[in-house]
Structure 1
Amino acid sequence: MASVHEEIFLEEKEKSEGDLKTFLRLWVYIKKYKLLLFLTFLTLAIATIIELALPVFIRYGIDNVINVNYSFDLVPENETQFVEQENGAYNLEKRDNNYYMVNNQTGERIQVSGEQYSQYFDLAIRKIQIFSLIFISVLVGQFLLNYGQVFFANVVGQKVIFHLRKDLFSHILKLKYTYFEKNPPGKVTTRVVNDTQNLSDFFSDVVTSLLKDIAIIIGVIILMMVLDFELSLYTMSMFPVIVVSVVLFRHFDRKAYDKVRTRISALNSYLAENLAGSNVTRLFNQEERKKKEFDYMSTKVYRANLQQMYVFAIFRPLMSLLQYFTISILLWFGSLQLTDGQTTFGTIYAFTSYIDMFFRPLFDLAEKYDIMQNAFASAGKIFKIFDQEQENFGRKKYTTIQEGKVEFQNVKFSYDGNKEVLKGVSFKINPNERVAIVGETGSGKTTIIKLISGLYKYQSGKILLDDKELYDYDLNELRKKIAVVPQDVFLFSGTILDNMRLFNQDIPDEEVKKVAKSVYADEIISRLPQNYYTVITERGGTLSSGERQLVALTRAVLFNSKIIILDEATANVDVETEFLIQQALNKISERSTIISIAHRLSTVKSSNRIIVVHKGLVVEEGRHEELINNHGIYYDLYRLQFENS
């Protein structure tokens, strides 16, 4: 079964851009918001400095506020006062319910009165209170700075995503027609919606803390070495193992996440395609086969997620184990130094806090790295769309056509560069002429229409519009004067009236209705529950083929198209609607050139001229009666249809 879906997973073999290159392309959008970036980095820097300073601050409190000797300092006239001495001459001791200051060297005791003890106690409490108030103030300031950092970073992120998504959609609208033939709508939708949302998660969950985490890891190492160089060397003996573990995790997690994103994209494409074709699945009783295909696709996603989970599941327990090993090393060597008087209890506490601070970003790294890799993988896929070539082969010397004259001069075209679909087609269509192009399936009829619209670039020959080569026009402006009415008309969600004017509110309702009446669309639309204001679903599923054709025809006339192309427009309509369309075409041909592609030859009899295409060449031209009398290919096609009917 894998061979059936082999093509869907080709993306897995595509080489992704490096993270640095992807970030540099994102930076083009990020750097536009310099003030917000400055505020983000400023609040980030101050908050990081405070967080790094907190263990040192607490160390000072332990060693100099809480765990300190307050002793008598003897002064003249036998007066006494309390002073703070790290290695005071006297220690306060309680013996027989009395308090004494005991000399550390001689053991001499001086009794302390209740008032003196109260002074001693008040001094200690006052210093602890001041220290606590300062500590709380620092914590409140840190909270405000962290809030500012997250807020500014998120504002930057949302602005970047907004402009990136807008630019992406604008770029997609200008891509070559061939891109949409090779890429299903579900895949493109994933890029515009899901992948940009992944980038939004990156800015909100990762950018706000990634730089801070890096700064904290570096700051922890520096501060530990400053506090106690020897103890820091013992503690950091585990760091090489930690670094190797992180590098290995990064490698395997990136591969796993790329696979997850690719397979989710493939599943989205599959769902979009099969939901759109659900009627075909039911009519041909293909539910079981589609169910098996979906199970296969879903299993692929499931297995990719499991692979990513295996990598994720081992990382956090490993980091926890390494943290406890590091703390054990600290306590072992720290206790030895504490016993020898080489360090203080406050220093050991600070080291313990720094170890916790060092591992905290590593614990979150698994989740953050998943988000980051998800974002970079999504960004890479987004930028691949930006790298797709846009339609840019118009020289823009001319902007519009005035008459509607069309001429092919020995035009050759191949889709793949090998097999020629058109092998030297030549014909001329005069302004306001009504011409039909007929031929068997695969003869090149639809290709001719796509070339007139500039959807493909022909390899040789010339296509002239009003005696000017197609490539001399601005394609965007040119298409405003060329309207195509396909066999399966696409309508957007909204009212019929909005679809007729393509949601251009500058066109008055009455003008739309006037044009609809002129092409006989009003007769059918007036039968609908709310006539022109009837709301239709996407693709116009609630309308018949004929009703959709009339809406598209009204649209073509409303926008004053000089060339109107009907690609099998009457193939699936009833007799009444076909009659109305033929009447409308007779009126439209008074001011526009009409080109019809048709298999039903009965619908082209009223054309001024019929062009017969056979195996990529124009083999016959003339009116219906002339071609019948010639007993050529057209005669054979007509006779075959007539006999079958």
Structure 2
Amino acid sequence: MIDRHKHLLTPLPQGPVFKRLLDYAKPHWKWLTIAMILLIGGTGAELIGPILIKIFIDDFLTPRVFEFQPLLLLGAGYLFLHFSAAIMNYSQLLLFQKIALKIIQKLRIDIFAKVEKLGLSFFDQFPTGGLVSRITNDTEQVKELYVSVMATFIQNIVFLVGVFIAMFYLNPQLALFCLVLLPMILTIMHLYRKFSSKYYAEMSEKLSELNARLNESIQGMTIIQLFRQERRMNREFQEINEGHHQAWYKSMKLDGLLLRPAVDFISIIALVLVLTFFGITSLNNPVEIGVLYAFVNYLDRFFEPVNQIMQRLSIFQQAMISAGRVFRLMDHDELAPQKQGTNEPIVSQGDIEFRNVTFSYDGKQDVLKNISFKVNKGETLALVGHTGSGKSSIINLLMRFYSIEQGEILIDGQPIESYTNKELREKIGLVMQDPFLFVGDVKHNIRLFDDTMTEAKVKEAAEFVHADSFISKLPKGYDHPVGERGSTFSSGQRQLLSFARTMAKAPKILVLDEATASVDTETETEIQLALEKMRKGRTTIAIAHRLSTIKNADHILVLHQGQVVEQGNHKELLKQKGLYEKMYLLQQGAEKLEESPSN
């Protein structure tokens, strides 16, 4: 990962992260208020129960007074409180979790929308598996914060406050002694947060590395098996997995030390304190058994929510680290180039001009150096050159996938920055060397999310590029299913579908990036026929390795190390006896060698 992306690995401070998470809850404040009221009501009902038992012990059981009506009311009141608490706690828990799921749904939509707006320069350098991990694993951890942590924290904090109120009602002096426990518990929480944040950050990064390696390995499985690299890939995967395991192990040791055992130790101290207090008090004054029962009961009820909070503190820490990683990505400002200015020109002719364009991907090494050319409506410009000469970079700039640093790109005499993305994407049709097909059916891939496109237009586009001949032979025709990346189709069939997809938009400008490089000779003939029809009346820019496919281009640019070293049509370039002629003769020799019969 390059330097400008390293900040994405740096954890955000937890204070601002928590505030942003709470901001996602603001639109649901009405339902949150109802849930809080139910929570307080259910907690209050639970806390009054021990007081009723204390009244029963001290006022009825100890003096052996068993009046039927008061006891009936006391018992009915206790049962009513118990059932009321159960109903209110169930309702508030359901509401909290429903709100939490809506919040996390909004968060996932927001981060995915942000990823879609990021420029290709970001995707060039940031591993795909790391992005998938942030959108799926990290948001899943944040979901746990809302679903199982925040509701539990709120419920148990309210419960703890209620416990202390009840303790002060029973015995203010002893309740004050018990307040000493709070600083001890808060100290344990602080220490846990301090150390666990480091371990969980390391765990999240290792998980991202695991996802990145998995994504890379699955996509490159053909190469791995071809070159018998299974052992090496397995060994590297084990190393990353071991790092993830070690980070988990550190956090587990911390959990084992500072969570339940530490709280249990404090609870023992509290029980000893209470029993000692009542023991000393009994030397001089009688002790009310009901008060002793209620206090011990409240102590038990006090430490149960503390234990629940401490156990969920690990989930809280993981969620905060994950949320920080999500917000880091959402705050990243490496956006795709956008429209500038107030004018909204339209592409009517498709004339293209590059004026002294210089460009670099990393800001250090220029891949294009002072490129200038012009191509008018109906003309075809071909770009040729060795790998790394800058052909694809010209296409990337014309599609405005990247911003130019020096020079100008004009379409119909207007700077490319003045056009909206919608206008550029609708008026420029791009066909890549390796066409990408989506899971769905043939019709869906030609229409490509444009539900307004009629089936007649879909078929017309397919017929125009000679794709209808193979589509009609499929078992389900245009409704035939397409697997991931169109793996069940040949490379030529995938390319014809991408042509149909492009022509369905009727673009003013046609950009062909090695469109015939990976297809067989028979399919190439069909594609060349389609190209002839597609180029009529359109501005066409074509990248080609096979120079025989661009003989009829109106103008050819020969690129070398980011510079235009030769230009002209096919015949003019051959007469110059330069780089183009060498490339052409080499390819002619190779083709003749391929065509010669084997001995």
TM-score range with shorter-chain normalisation?
over 0.9
Would you say the 8 A contact 1:234–1:333 is kept in 2? no
Matched with 1:57 is 52
Secondary structure in structure 1 of the residue aligned to 2:24: helix
Question: Which of 50, 62, 68 is the matching residue for 2:63?
Answer: 68
Whether 1:257 and 2:252 are equivalent positions in the alignment is no
Change (3 A) 1:52 1:11: farther
Verify: 1:384 aligned to 2:328, yes or no.
yes
2-structure distance, mates of 1:632, 1:295: 52
Task: Sort the Cα spacing of 1:342 and 1:613 in 2 relative to 1 into closer, same or farther, 3 A.
Answer: farther
* Per-residue deviation, 1:251: 2.0
| Distance in 1 separating the partners of 2:8 and 2:245 | 19
Q: Which runs of 5+ in 1 are unaligned?
A: 1-5, 71-120
Pair 1:630 & 2:576 matched: yes
Q: Could you tell which deviates more after superposition, 537-546 or 375-384? A: 375-384
2:292 paired residue number: 348
* 1:211 equivalent in alignment to 2:157: no
Q: 1:28 to 1:242 in 2, by over 3 A?
A: closer
Which residues of 2 match residues 141-220 of structure 1 at below 5 A?
141-220=84-163
Task: Using the aligned pairs only, state the percent identity.
Answer: 34
Q: Identify the residue that residue 21 of structure 1 maps to in structure 2.
A: 16
Query: Against the structure 1 CA distance between its residues 250 and 342, is the aligned structure 2 distance closer, same or farther, given a 3 Å change threshold?
Result: farther
Partner of 1:549: 495
Specify which of 313, 317, 320 is matched with residue 373 of structure 1: 317
User: Residues of 2 paired with 1:391 and 1:169: CA distance?
Assistant: 14
Do 2:347 and 2:508's aligned partners in 1 also have CA atoms closer than 8 Å? yes
Which one scores higher on RCO, CA 8 angstroms, separation ≥ 6? 2
The structural deviation recorded for 1:438 is 0.5
Trace 1:177-576 onto structure 2 (pairs within 5 A).
Answer: 177-314=120-257, 315-341=259-285, 343-389=287-333, 390-395=335-340, 397-398=343-344, 400-576=346-522
**C-alpha separation between the residues in 2 aligned to 1:618 and 1:503?**
39
Q: Give, in whole Å, the separation in 1 of the partners of 2:43 and 2:491.
A: 65
SS state at 2:228 partner: coil
Letter in 2 for 1:613: L
Distance in 2, matches of 1:174 and 1:13, equals: 17
Separation in 2 of the partners of 1:140 and 1:214? 22
Q: Kindly indicate whether the alpha-carbon contact (under 8 Å) linking 1:516 and 1:522 is maintained by their aligned counterparts in 2.
A: yes
**Aligned residues of 2:2 and 2:125 also touching (Cα < 8 A):** no
What is the alpha-carbon distance in structure 2 between the residues aligned to residue 561 and residue 63 of structure 1? Answer: 89
- 2:337·2:403 contact (CA, 8 Å) conserved in 1? no
For residue 132 of structure 1, the aligned residue among 55, 72, 75 is 75
Alpha-carbon distance between aligned partners in 1 of 2:80 and 2:426, rounded to the nearest angstrom: 66
Range 389-398 or range 407-416, more displaced: 389-398
Kindly provide the amino acid, as one letter, of the partner of residue 294 in structure 2.
Answer: A
Quickly say closer, same or farther: Cα 1:135–1:403, change in 2 above 3 A: same
Question: d(CA) in 2 for partners of 1:542 and 1:555?
Answer: 18
Please say which of residues 588-597 and 275-284 is displaced more in the overlay: 588-597
Cα separation, 2, equivalents of 1:12 and 1:65? 68
State whether residues 12 and 325 of structure 2, in contact with CA within 8 Å, keep that contact through their aligned partners in structure 1: no
How much is the aligned-residue C-alpha RMSD, in angstroms?
Answer: 2.2
CA deviation vs aligned residue, 1:324-382 (integer Å, no higher than 9, x gap): 22212211221221342264222222221221122112212243112222222222222
Distance, in Å, in 2 between the alignment partners of 1:285 and 1:617 is: 40
In 1, distance between residues paired with 2:184 and 2:8?
A: 32
**Distance change in 2, residues 1:428/1:393 (3 Å):** same
Q: Which amino acid aligns with 1:285?
A: R
How do 1:76-115 and structure 2 match up within 5 A?
Answer: none
Pick aligned residue for 1:606 from 545, 549, 552: 552
Give the Cα separation in 2 of the matches to 1:476 and 1:21: 36
More moved, 183-192 vs 392-401: 392-401
State whether residues 156 and 309 of structure 2, in contact with CA within 8 Å, keep that contact through their aligned partners in structure 1.
Answer: no
Of 463-472 and 417-426, deviating more is 417-426
Gaps of 5+ in 2: 592-599
Q: CA deviation at 1:234?
A: 4.2
Deviations 1:69-92 (A, max 9, x none): 65xxxxxxxxxxxxxxxxxxxxxx
SS at match of 1:555: helix
